[in-house]
Chain A
Amino acid sequence: MGASLELKLTLARWLGRLSRVRGGGATTAPGKLLMRLQPRAIEELGARLSRGSVLISATNGKTTTAAMFAGILAETGVSVVHNQAGANMAGGIASTLLAAARPKDAIAGEIGLFEVDEFWLERIAAELHPRAILLNNLFRDQLDRYGELETIADRWALSVQSGPARDARLVLNADDPLIADLGRARADASSADAPLYFGVEDPSLAQAGMAHAADAKHCRNCGAPYVFEHVFLGHLGHYYCPNCGQRRPTPLVSASEVTLEGVRSARFMLRTPSGERPVSLALPGLYNVYNALAAAALATALEIPLADIVAGLQGTEAAFGRAETVTLADRPMQILLIKNPAGANEVLRTLALEAGEHDLLGVLNDNTADGRDVSWIWDADFELLADRVRRVTCSGTRAADLAVRLKYAGVESSRIHVDMNLKKALSSAAADIAPGSGAPLYALPTYTAMLSLRELLVARGEARSAWS
């Protein structure tokens, strides 16, 4: 095709709008069309960003970490092109770039900030030649879609050693052995190019033992089992290999004195090479402390001042569907996305910090974006809440599977209600409230269930549109 890029951009925008009207994917359709017209569109549009791009990937926390980093950038006054709706494969990233593209080879932003799906990292890095790549964690996720964890770790290792990501500065979670090991091949790099590690330095958070779903048991270097001195979350913690001596790198950016304040907030002391500052997050749980540390480490790699980092982190509110609170008729409802065992366990642990019996609305879908395989609910520790459930309403395409999981976790069946119809499930869950309690309803949806729930809330006038 001989048409100019400008013409193709216009065409893709126009056709994308048309497909949205016809009910197509709202956030990926224009980008997909653009890539059909111009296969290297991401590379060509990305090259317009004067300060380059940074990529963020992980199993859990991509959207929240990117939102935190965007908050930090906002403090510095640098303008950003960011796929904030969470569409993190090539189509979504191309759509984001297309929306920001301006005539005469311009683009509305200085730096690109993209969360990237685990299996698209190679491809996106090859096109965007990122300055820095932040890798936060690898947990077992949607195995029907992603293959096994080691496969992803192997692909990433290849990509950062000799592949398209070899020139990017790596920002790595020291506490996740699968992630930290990615820096091994770069250990001899000069200090400016050496991987920047972040991690938690607070032994008081350690759990009694490895969770049963712990995923990184064997040294990536020699295959011997790791020894964990502390486990903080899933397989994140302080570890070493007794055979080859491989051990957790010492983090340059760390969190200590961590205080978890139920489902509302968390506090910690952030330490960076330029000093330490207390940080109060408006987001709950240790998992969000890790997200904040990751964003702070990426900002440190980009030499952003500590004051901006702290201000950006403290100003970050819940990302779409991640610990977001809305008000139903007369009670608050907090939406806590659950999509895999590690993430769900952190949500359940966080809920267990709240006193009393809880009202829950669990929504389990098995659409492609959720993973068609719902086996994972048996790796999530619903037992943590078993004797703390006043009423649980189960909905979604696999409502009954979730109900059975809760029953076998120890919730009495009389407290379990099943309704596959989400609208009806939401109404009945909201209406059943302990008299005079004003108790919150905790919604635990999978990804597509969260989108449906948001749509219903928007229709009821109780939440802003996701895409506003």
Chain B
Amino acid sequence: MPSQARKLRVCALYPDLMNIYADRGNLIVLERRCAWRGIGFQLNVCGMGEQLDSDGSDLFYLGGGQDRDQLLCAADLVSFKRAALHRAADRGAVVLGVCGGYQLLGHSYVVGEQEITGVGLVDVHTVRAAAPRLIGNIAIEVQLEQQSPPRVLAGFENHGGRTHLGAHAEPLGRVLKGHGNDGTSGYEGVRRANVIGTYLHGPLLPKNAWFADWLIAAALGVQPRDLGELPDDELESQAHASALRAAGM
């Protein structure tokens, strides 16, 4: 395998501010699963006030933050990073927005009188509901490849915002257990080619190792089967099963 030549370059956006639910777990999983396959790994960090290099990374990660931090990041994203994120997405890089990061990938997030502008990578908008937060374990069914059977993502959601898909938006998946985007539509997340947003927050990749591999493959521009199975994924399978059980599956 020519794997020695391959390297995954990941850009973590605001890793100090947008890390409320231990989002760094996702980065650790990507790093380890590359290392075990002999794939190089480079972590780039892009913080407040910094320009984003759209060609410098293959996968851009934006996690969740506290309200105050999310507000700061939203303004910074729009000022400094929106154009570069669009260029990156247009050339097929993976952009993964999780929880608050998902909300910021859309057009806007309305909280009371205030409207926070997002980067508009996906056709969704979010409204903070005057209703209880949507909290709990969640399982969704996703079909990332046309030709392969649907698979399940399991995780935990905790969001006050209700996200609504625009006319041109496709959801990431269908809710099997839990609330999803708005608690009523039965949809969860959003997907436009390699741009993905989801409310399955924080460390979702440790509970869904198969999805970590899918992201790595998509970011490298190869098929997931070309990455090869890891010989020892037993604990990961058990953790996936445990998250499914917690969701009531």
Q: A: which residues have CB within 8 A of B?
A: 140, 143-144, 147-150, 212-213, 217-218, 223, 341, 366, 372-379, 397-401, 403-405, 407-408, 413, 416, 418
Contact with A along B74-115 (1 / 0, CB 8 A): 000000000000000000000000000000000000000000
Does B235 contact A375, Cβ atoms closer than 8 Å? no
Tell me how far the C-beta of B31 lies from the nearest C-beta in chain A, rounded to whole angstroms. 9
Does B235 contact A378, Cβ atoms closer than 8 Å? no
Instruction: Report the separation of the CA atoms of residues A218 and B239 in the bound assembly, to the nearest whole angstrom.
Output: 35
Does B239 contact A401, Cβ atoms closer than 8 Å? yes
CB-based closest 7 A-B pairs: A378-B25, A400-B238, A378-B22, A375-B202, A379-B22, A400-B239, A378-B203
Does A375 contact B203, Cβ atoms closer than 8 Å? yes
Question: Which among A341, A374, A378 is the interface contact of B28 at CB below 8 angstroms?
Answer: A378
Does A341 contact B238, Cβ atoms closer than 8 Å? no
B168 interface contact, C-beta 8 A: no
B226 interface contact, C-beta 8 A: no
Tell me how far the C-beta of B58 lies from the nearest C-beta in chain A, rounded to whole angstroms. 21
Tell me how far the C-beta of A223 lies from the nearest C-beta in chain B, rounded to whole angstroms. 8
Which residues from chain A contact B239 at a C-beta distance below 8 Å?
A: 400-401, 403-404
In the complex, besides A403-B238, A407-B235, 6 extra interface pairs with C-beta distance below 8 angstroms are A140-B20, A144-B135, A213-B22, A372-B136, A397-B246, A404-B239
Question: Which among B15, B32, B66, B201 is the interface contact of A375 at CB below 8 angstroms?
Answer: B201
B197 interface contact, C-beta 8 A: no
- Contact A149 to B66, CB < 8 A, known contacts A373-B21, A379-B24, A408-B206: yes
Does B235 contact A148, Cβ atoms closer than 8 Å? no
Task: Determine the residue in chain A with the shortest Cβ distance to B137.
Answer: A372
Task: Determine the residue in chain A with the shortest Cβ distance to B158.
Answer: A144
B62 interface contact, C-beta 8 A: no
Question: Which among A341, A373, A404 is the interface contact of B236 at CB below 8 angstroms?
Answer: A404
Q: B: which residues have CB within 8 A of A?
A: 15-17, 19-22, 24-25, 28-29, 32, 66-69, 133, 135-137, 156, 158, 201-203, 206-207, 232, 234-236, 238-239, 241-243, 246
Does B28 contact A408, Cβ atoms closer than 8 Å? yes
Does B68 contact A418, Cβ atoms closer than 8 Å? no
- Contact A217 to B19, CB < 8 A, known contacts A148-B67, A150-B68: no
Tell me how far the C-beta of A232 lies from the nearest C-beta in chain B, rounded to whole angstroms. 19
Which residues from chain A contact B24 at a C-beta distance below 8 Å?
A: 212, 378-379
Does A401 contact B207, Cβ atoms closer than 8 Å? yes
Which residues from chain B contact A143 at a C-beta distance below 8 Å?
A: 20-21, 158
Task: Determine the residue in chain A with the shortest Cβ distance to B136.
Answer: A372
Does B206 contact A399, Cβ atoms closer than 8 Å? no
Does B235 contact A404, Cβ atoms closer than 8 Å? yes
Which residues from chain A contact B238 at a C-beta distance below 8 Å?
A: 399-400, 403-404, 418
Instruction: Report the separation of the CA atoms of residues A404 and B236 in the bound assembly, to the nearest whole angstrom.
Output: 6
Tell me how far the C-beta of B153 lies from the nearest C-beta in chain A, rounded to whole angstroms. 15
Does A373 contact B207, Cβ atoms closer than 8 Å? no
Which residues from chain A contact B21 at a C-beta distance below 8 Å?
A: 143, 373, 375-376
Which residues from chain A contact B207 at a C-beta distance below 8 Å?
A: 401
Instruction: Report the separation of the CA atoms of residues A223 and B75 in the bound assembly, to the nearest whole angstrom.
Output: 15
Which residues from chain A contact B202 at a C-beta distance below 8 Å?
A: 373, 375, 378
Task: Determine the residue in chain B with the shortest Cβ distance to A149.
Answer: B66
Which residues from chain B contact A213 at a C-beta distance below 8 Å?
A: 19, 22
Instruction: Report the separation of the CA atoms of residues A404 and B241 in the bound assembly, to the nearest whole angstrom.
Output: 12
Tell me how far the C-beta of B49 lies from the nearest C-beta in chain A, rounded to whole angstroms. 12
Does A144 contact B242, Cβ atoms closer than 8 Å? no
Which residues from chain B contact A400 at a C-beta distance below 8 Å?
A: 235, 238-239, 241-242
Task: Determine the residue in chain A with the shortest Cβ distance to B28.
Answer: A408
Does B242 contact A217, Cβ atoms closer than 8 Å? no
23 A-B contact pairs sorted by A residue (CB < 8 Å): A144-B156, A150-B67, A213-B19, A217-B17, A366-B246, A372-B137, A373-B158, A374-B156, A375-B22, A375-B156, A375-B202, A375-B203, A377-B22, A378-B24, A378-B28, A397-B246, A398-B246, A401-B206, A401-B207, A403-B235, A404-B238, A405-B25, A405-B206
Instruction: Report the separation of the CA atoms of residues A374 and B235 in the bound assembly, to the nearest whole angstrom.
Output: 16
Tell me how far the C-beta of B22 lies from the nearest C-beta in chain A, rounded to whole angstroms. 4
Which residues from chain A contact B242 at a C-beta distance below 8 Å?
A: 397-401
Does B19 contact A212, Cβ atoms closer than 8 Å? yes
Tell me how far the C-beta of B233 lies from the nearest C-beta in chain A, rounded to whole angstroms. 10
Which residues from chain B contact A366 at a C-beta distance below 8 Å?
A: 246
Does B29 contact A217, Cβ atoms closer than 8 Å? no
Tell me how far the C-beta of B224 lies from the nearest C-beta in chain A, rounded to whole angstroms. 20
Instruction: Report the separation of the CA atoms of residues A377 and B243 in the bound assembly, to the nearest whole angstrom.
Output: 14
Tell me how far the C-beta of A387 lies from the nearest C-beta in chain B, rounded to whole angstroms. 15
Task: Determine the residue in chain A with the shortest Cβ distance to B66.
Answer: A148
Task: Determine the residue in chain B with the shortest Cβ distance to A379.
Answer: B22
Tell me how far the C-beta of A393 lies from the nearest C-beta in chain B, rounded to whole angstroms. 13
Instruction: Report the separation of the CA atoms of residues A217 and B17 in the bound assembly, to the nearest whole angstrom.
Output: 9
Does B22 contact A341, Cβ atoms closer than 8 Å? yes
Tell me how far the C-beta of B236 lies from the nearest C-beta in chain A, rounded to whole angstroms. 6
Instruction: Report the separation of the CA atoms of residues A210 and B235 in the bound assembly, to the nearest whole angstrom.
Output: 31
Instruction: Report the separation of the CA atoms of residues A366 and B201 in the bound assembly, to the nearest whole angstrom.
Output: 16
Task: Determine the residue in chain B with the shortest Cβ distance to A148.
Answer: B66
Instruction: Report the separation of the CA atoms of residues A404 and B205 in the bound assembly, to the nearest whole angstrom.
Output: 11
Which residues from chain B contact A144 at a C-beta distance below 8 Å?
A: 135-136, 156, 158
Task: Determine the residue in chain A with the shortest Cβ distance to B237.
Answer: A400
Task: Determine the residue in chain B with the shortest Cβ distance to A341.
Answer: B22
Instruction: Report the separation of the CA atoms of residues A452 and B112 in the bound assembly, to the nearest whole angstrom.
Output: 44
Instruction: Report the separation of the CA atoms of residues A462 and B153 in the bound assembly, to the nearest whole angstrom.
Output: 42
